[in-house]
Amino acid sequence: MTITSGDPDLFIDRARARALQSRFDDAAEDLTVALSVRPGDVLALRLRADAYLEQGELDRAERDVAAALDIAPHDVDTLVMRGRLREARRLGVDAVLDPSSGDPDAAPDVLPNAPAL
């Protein structure tokens, strides 16, 4: 699909669709175009950081998250993304993208001594 409009929201929407298809390189490319039209778009920066994380490009993802937090330091979704990146550095990208691949004892599903619901 070719986008002929210069509306960055169209590129952001297509990037989301491409990410759902696991086409993260294409999603990052669309988000780069959106950011060239509307620099400093926090949503586009965060989504591109997520696309970079999915590709294992942590340095690029961290730059986008830092830029987004410079603009909107209290944006909850961006703060969560920063946490995911920190976990990717600490545990490895695969453990963050697929939590079931990690050590089952590292993050128990239930709290010890918690009553069953």
The pTM of the whole model exceeds 0.85? no
Distance between CA 43 and CA 105 in Å, rounded? 34
pLDDT, tens digit, for every residue of 75-102?
A: 999 999 999 999 999 999 998 888 776 5
Lookup: tokens for 64: 């986008």
Note the pLDDT tens digit of each residue in 20-76. 999 999 999 999 999 999 999 999 999 999 999 999 999 999 999 999 999 999 999
Closest CA to 50 of 13, 89, 82: 82
CA distances, 58 to each of 11, 38, 68, 81, 96 (Å): 23, 23, 15, 11, 12
Retrieve residue 107's tokens: 């993050």
pLDDT band at 105 (very low <50, low <70, confident <90, very high): low
CA 80 distance to own-chain centroid: 9
Q: What is the mean pLDDT of residues 2-12?
A: 82
Assess whether pLDDT exceeds 80 at residue 4: no
Cα separation, 103 vs 108, whole angstroms: 9
Class (C level, CATH) for 8-92: mainly alpha
